Structure 1
Amino acid sequence: MQELPQPDSEMLKELIRYKMPFGKYKDWIIADLPVSYLEWFQTQGFPAGKLGMLLSTMYEIRLNGLEFLVQGLRKLK
């Protein structure tokens, strides 16, 4: 039986700590960004580096209905 991949807990923690550094949603926590903003990045291209990785990860979490991964960490905060 193949084991399912486990989420990277450190990256998930970053989603509830890292703030958007620019734009309309400057200073918003990545996990709190509206899905429409994440979809816009999906069509325009995510920024390079750590920010792009976090935004694309949050997009995938929302797209696949996995918000519970982030919400669970907030409760542990």
Structure 2
Amino acid sequence: MRLAEYRYSTVRGIRSQLLFVGQVEAVRMGEVVQVIAPDGRELEGEVLAVHANDVLIQVFGECRGLDVQHTTVVFGDAI
């Protein structure tokens, strides 16, 4: 269980419903995350894989409009 919320704007790639996020610490497979689109839309996702500090996230919902510069992924208890 996390006691804080962690926000990462380190999306390195987007392919269909998958986000590749780098420089993430203390994450677990199966963890539910919130994805915030550049337009403020909030989506849910799940961590599918972890390799060192890189994670693969499956986004649930429409990914149109997500981009690597302005998309934020939130990990934390509030999700």
- TM bin (shorter chain): under 0.3
- Determine which structure has greater relative contact order: mean sequence separation of CA pairs < 8 Å that are 6+ residues apart, divided by chain length: 2
Which of structures 1 and 2 has the bigger CA Rg?
A: 1
Structure (1/2) with the larger strand percentage: 2
TM-score w.r.t. the length of structure 1 is 0.23
Structure (1/2) with the larger helix percentage: 1
TM-score w.r.t. the length of structure 2 is 0.23
